[in-house]
Structure 1
Amino acid sequence: MLTTRRKVLITAVAGAAVAGSLAYGVSAQAEEAADQPASLVEDFSYPGAAQIEADKKIKLIKGDGKIMLAECGSATDLIQVESYNNLSEPVYCFKVLGSTGFLTLEIPNVFFIWAGDEKVTATVTVGGVEKDPVVVDANDGEPVGAEDPKNHAVLLELRV
């Protein structure tokens, strides 16, 4: 029959052996992980979004990198979003870098969208209610939020 002291000693030795095995396993995994390249997970966040929001008063949230904010006048095929949001910059322009693309954003007080060389579909809320998608044919324009006299139209997404 084992005494209490022996039981404690056996339990302590067994616990130390298990802890040593676990520590070795963790150490071995850490060494293996150091040999592997870091995992990159794309979250599609828009680069420099915080600075753009501070400067231009718009939120560029995420996208696939194929619709990017651009300087108006830098090209003739830009998507143009007209807004009462920022009177010093009433038009925001976006360059399309592929045949398809999306950009999730928030531009308040939007009243008109011009498409570039590609047809654009825009998701808009008016007075907090999401409306049917606005489809703007290539090289054409569409009014947005015209039914709201206080112009509470918010552009939420652009898709090409």
Structure 2
Amino acid sequence: MRSIPKLLVAGAVAGSVALTGVAVADAATGVPAGSAVVTADDTPPPPDVEDFVYPDADKIFTDRGIRLITGDGHMVLVDCPAPGTTKPGVLLIDTRGMTDRDTIGHGKFCFQITGNSASIKLELPSVYGITTPDYAVTAHMVTGTGGQTEEKTFTLLRNMPNPVGEASEPQRRPYTLLDLTATK
């Protein structure tokens, strides 16, 4: 029962401080007790801003040889369906010479597309074919070396395999896929 009178006294002091605006100051700083102290070194945290950087891009590059740079989140790298099967909304990219480097898909890369539109920036060498789902897809690619590069954009047909890059020209030059966009 002794603690109840102490609580009453503490509550009365706190209440009088709140009513009168008088507070006890900290002897070391002179700042009223219970006040927040802000120093010149205190900076507010940065605001939450989406940077659209592809999650785990470094690990994916190490494991598969595909550099995923940025995207809107509506085109995501996924495991490819079993050969001879399809999955709605999945885009399939075929590459040459990646079977050893890509220990997961062995040169086949699949992206699940969601929503009415999707985009991704990437670097994927030696692309020769893209099989599209029911989306209008464009693929921006580059070929050449040593400052002698040529860029080309391919408009792909829906729901079918599309020859791109080396498969689209007689010279059979290797192309690197730089970005994909898709719309419903």
Shared fold per TM-score greater than 0.5:
yes
Tell me if the contact between 2:89 and 2:114 (Cα under 8 Å) persists in the aligned partners: no
Matches within 5 A, 1:146-157: 146=166, 147=169, 149=171, 151-157=173-179
Aligned pairs, number: 131
Tell me if the contact between 1:81 and 1:112 (Cα under 8 Å) persists in the aligned partners: yes
Question: How big is the shift at 1:85?
Answer: 3.9
- Counterpart position of 1:100: 117
Residues 76 and 101 (structure 1), Cα distance of their counterparts in 2 relative to 1, 3 Å cut: closer
**CA RMSD across the alignment:** 2.4
TM-score, with normalisation over the residues of structure 2?
0.64
Distance 2:170 2:51 in 1: 34
| Paired residue secondary structure (1:27) | coil
Q: Which amino acid aligns with 1:45?
A: V
Distance 2:41 2:118 in 1: 39
Does residue 137 (structure 1) correspond to residue 157 (structure 2)? The answer is yes
Distance 1:28 1:107 in 2: 47
Q: Which amino acid aligns with 2:53?
A: S
Q: Find the partner of 1:121 among 128, 138, 147.
A: 138
Distance 1:85 1:58 in 2: 13
Structure 2: gaps (5+ residues): 1-36, 101-105
- Counterpart position of 1:39: 47
Q: Which amino acid aligns with 2:175?
A: A
- Counterpart position of 2:90: 78
Tell me if the contact between 1:85 and 1:107 (Cα under 8 Å) persists in the aligned partners: no
Larger-gyration structure (1/2) = 2
CA deviation vs aligned residue, 1:88-142 (integer Å, no higher than 9, x gap): 41210000011101000011000011111211111011223111x2111220222
Distance 1:73 1:47 in 2: 22
Residues 30 and 148 (structure 1), Cα distance of their counterparts in 2 relative to 1, 3 Å cut: farther
Does residue 60 (structure 1) correspond to residue 68 (structure 2)? The answer is yes
| Paired residue secondary structure (1:54) | helix
Q: Which amino acid aligns with 2:137?
A: V
Structure 1: gaps (5+ residues): 1-24
Question: How big is the shift at 1:67?
Answer: 0.3
Residues 87 and 29 (structure 1), Cα distance of their counterparts in 2 relative to 1, 3 Å cut: closer
Question: How big is the shift at 1:38?
Answer: 4.8
Q: Identify the range of structure 1 (55-64 vs 121-130) with the bigger mean alpha-carbon deviation.
A: 121-130
- Counterpart position of 1:158: 180
User: How many percent of aligned residue pairs carry the same amino acid?
Assistant: 33
